Chain A
Amino acid sequence: MSDEVRTLVIDGRDVAGASGQSILSVAEESGVFIPALCHLAGLSEVGSCRLCMVEVEGTARLVASCVTAVEEGMKVTTTSERLLAYRRRAIELLFMERNHVCSVCVADNHCELQELAKTLGVTHFELPPLHPACDVDATHERFVLDHNRCILCARCVRVCDEIEGAHTWDIRGRGTGARLISDLGKPWGESTTCTSCGKCVQVCPTGALYEKGRSVAEGKRHRPYVPFLVATNALGTGRQL
């Protein structure tokens, strides 16, 4: 990221960011809320959840604000009826693709998907649910992976690779068949790369990764330490934030 300043308009407000900085990042700094699930400060962006889509004047298609850099003179709209409709549908697709049962989920009350559904006014689903048969991997001595709750945001993949440096996680397959895997498909408990650091558990936005022994609604995350780890990691490697 260079120090060159880019000035643009977000929701009618004049704002400034650095060249190369994402629209989402500039919006966050300016106090503008854009919903997102795969984005987490300190990790690289993948643009997989599609909730941060925004309108850019002069462009017919919507762009994912987490992976679109600000440009001089850009005019961005972050809230509109059209965007709300798309975001609600994106939430619905995430819910329908797996078995999200908030009332019995370890992440109930601490879930970003559940909270965003409320924020965006999703009260029911129109699409037919897939109800896929999903495995639960409880082979790790301290943690559990429940595919029923996974939204494939890949936060765990990135934090494990970029911060812990272990790269235990990956995503195998495509579309509705895509699954989070450890060590190229071994049970988590047999992983030789996992350091059991638990960062993946702390960054998971839903109840897909949790500590063993936690019951319904007990999966509270200890998230604030992630930016700290990112900062110390960047200092150690000389990588620019």
Chain B
Amino acid sequence: MTAEHKARVATTWLDGCSGCHMSLLDMDERLLEVAERVELVYGCLVDAKEFPEDVDVTLVEGAVSSEEDLRKIREVRARTRVLVSLGDCAVTANVPGMRNPFGPGPVLERAYLENVTLNAQIPHGAVPALLAESLPVHAYVPVDVFVPGCPPSADLIFSVIMDLVEGRLPQVQGTARFG
């Protein structure tokens, strides 16, 4: 198979722990099988600075928690045919969403003022501002496939990727579970 027949696949990482990317790597030797069908065009596993145009499938890990997450996901959605919410943070906001009952102010104060012993200050300028709530990806942009799990198993990620590159709708219902 030549490069031009490969599906253009990207991954991106918003407010998550990278566990979903770790689980993706956990598919071990099947990565070779995936690599025959997929060209990885963007993501934290490859060195590409800009999210490219004309991407077939993007796997999104993480919730939308900051202004930068929001900018990224809108750009990703505009340049992607099939957007996959990968893992509980992208699907439900999961752990990042645990701050929602309190709001960003008290959470930042707790982390950067109350619990520090040296140079207490709330980061500003160099880091993107937090949104009022940490929300799932589909709260902002349409999502085509939901893959819950914390993280989703390597088996499930493998089957989802292979289904999508072979033009099938992934069967996640009844297989995937929250947590």
Contact = CB atoms under 8 A, between A and B. Distances in A.
Contacts of A119: 174
Contacts, number: 71
B179 A108 contact: yes
Interface string B155-178: 000000000000000001111111
Contacts of B139: 128
A124 B148 contact: yes
B12 to A, nearest CB: 18
- Chain A, interface size: which category? 20 to 34
A123 B148 CA distance: 6
A119 B173 CA distance: 8
A117 interface: yes
Given A103-B150, A119-B174, A124 B97 contact: no
Contacts of A21: none
Interface stretch (A53-61, A130-138, A158-166, A176-184): A130-138
Nearest to A104: B95
B147 interface: yes
Given A103-B150, A123-B146, A134-B101, 5 more contacts: A103-B94, A118-B174, A118-B177, A124-B85, A124-B136
- Chain B, interface size: which category? 20 to 34
9 contacts: A99-B97, A103-B88, A104-B98, A111-B179, A114-B177, A114-B178, A118-B178, A121-B173, A124-B91
A119 B83 CA distance: 24
Contacts of A197: none
Contacts of A133: 101-102
B148 A101 contact: no
B92 interface: yes
A125 interface: yes
Interface of A: 95, 99-105, 108-109, 111, 114-115, 117-119, 121, 123-125, 128-129, 131-134
Interface in B118-151: 133, 136, 138-139, 143, 146-148, 150
B146 to A, nearest CB: 4
Interface in B83-106: 85, 88, 91-95, 97-98, 100-102
Given A103-B150, A124-B136, A129 B174 contact: no
B118 to A, nearest CB: 29
A108 B150 CA distance: 11
Contacts of B94: 101, 103
A102 B178 contact: yes
Interface centre among A105, A108, A111, A124 (most CB of B within 10 A): A124
Interface of B: 85, 88, 91-95, 97-98, 100-102, 133, 136, 138-139, 143, 146-148, 150, 172-179
A110 to B, nearest CB: 10
A115 B100 CA distance: 25
A35 B38 CA distance: 40
Contact of B176 (A99, A123, A129, A134): A123
Chain A, interface SS category: loop
A123 B172 contact: yes
B107 to A, nearest CB: 13
Given A101-B95, A103-B95, A124-B138, A132 B101 contact: yes
Nearest to A117: B178
Nearest to A125: B92
A104 B96 CA distance: 11
Nearest to A124: B146
B179 A123 contact: no
A14 B134 CA distance: 51
A98 B139 CA distance: 18
B177 to A, nearest CB: 4
Nearest to B150: A103
Interface centre among A103, A117, A118, A134 (most CB of B within 10 A): A103
A104 to B, nearest CB: 6
Ranked nearest first, the 4 interchain pairs of A and B with the lowest CB-CB distance are A102-B179, A121-B173, A103-B150, A131-B100
